[in-house]
Amino acid sequence: MRKFSFLMIFIFAFSLGAYCWRVLHTSHSIDRSADLRRKLRGSPQKVLVEIGGSQISKDDVAFEYELLTKGLVDPEQQDMTPIPDFGDRLDEELTPLKETILNSLVERTMLYQLVKQDKSFNLSDSQRYVDCLKDWTATIDAGEDLFSSRENQDRLKARLCEQSILSQYLDEKVYSSVLVDEKSLLEYFKNNRDEFTVPAMVSIRQIVLADERQARKIRARVNRSNFKILARNHSITPEADDGGLLPPFPIGYGMPRFFEVAFSMRPGQISNILKSTYGFHIIMLEKKIKPREFSFAEAAPRVKKKLVEREKERAYQKWVDLALHSIKVSTPKVFW
């Protein structure tokens, strides 16, 4: 029994050491670590990771989880899909989400520790904290139960201000050297001409009716001259106010397939009644738009935006790699 205990201790210590080496010396994603996965499933250790003197606990993960699922900080998360009722499997099913949250916390904490090491970036400047403190006050004043405790208020303040500082550092230090020259723009434009070609499109008007009998009556009366008036008076869709006019579209661009009949019609020609789940449609071809290619001058702003974003992503990944190799990351020691 004693030999078996020593063997288990040795295996655990070896695994823990291997994990720490992996985080410190490679760029492998932390959220794939079996050690962290085990901790999220109920380890008695409250502290999950120590990063350059800072600690991330289960309570920190739980706090971030509440922010994420309730959409309390990021506006785009307000309409998140509710978590299904997993019953007894809830903890197990949510483990991947919690791992993702932990990975995000580790990355944010590492990067903030790296910023603190840069003496050329003045963290003592009170102006750097004006926006995050304003957001913090507004969020607290909203009266959410999650922020009723002082501890969670402090967590929120740290989160908002760390994010603000990282954003400022990215703009001032990491992204400031991102440049895209004219040669790169032209090279991308030449190698990706399909991105800057406008396909053939059609512009149509439609009258949509809920009743087939009424649709037949309208079809018998409609012509090129009165199409707009009949659309305004009888069509049940929003574009009726504009005489049934729809924005130009190419084949296969998210429009119902039966609209493709317009590509074989002549301007001013009116279709037969077309049935769909929305009702009964009568369409008239307004005009056909020939395909064309953007010139380099027209495409340059779009190309530049795309290449700048790509270079920013590369610069960010280099910054993360620097943090991984510069900031000490470890799991807490286990005491027997």
- Model pLDDT for residues 295-320, shown as the tens digit of each residue: 999 999 999 999 999 999 999 999 99
CA–CA separation, 263 and 286 (whole Å): 11
Sequence-distant (≥ 6) Cβ neighbours of residue 41 within 8 angstroms: 91, 92, 95
Q: Is the pLDDT of residue 88 over 90?
A: no
pLDDT at position 144 over 70: yes
- Pick 200-290's CATH classification: 3.10.50.40, 3.30.428.10, 1.10.1200.10, 3.40.50.300: 3.10.50.40
Max distance between CA atoms of the chain, in angstroms, equals 96
Average pLDDT of span 24-48: 46
pLDDT band at 65 (very low <50, low <70, confident <90, very high): confident
Query: Is the pTM higher than 0.75?
Result: no
pLDDT band at 47 (very low <50, low <70, confident <90, very high): confident
Going along the chain, which residue ranges are E strands?
A: 47-51, 54-57, 197-198, 201-209, 249-250, 274-276, 279-289, 292-293, 329-330
| Cβ atoms 112, 106 nearer than 8 A | no
Looking from the CA of 304 toward its CB, the CA atoms found within 13 Å total 12
Region of poorest pLDDT, from 21-25, 233-237, 254-258 = 21-25
Q: How far is CA 1 from the centre of its chain?
A: 52
Query: For residue range 193-230, what is the model confidence (pLDDT) as tens digits?
Result: 989 998 999 999 999 999 999 999 999 999 999 999 99
- Where in the chain do CATH 3.10.50.40 domains reside? 200-290
User: Whats the size of the chain, residue-wise?
Assistant: 336
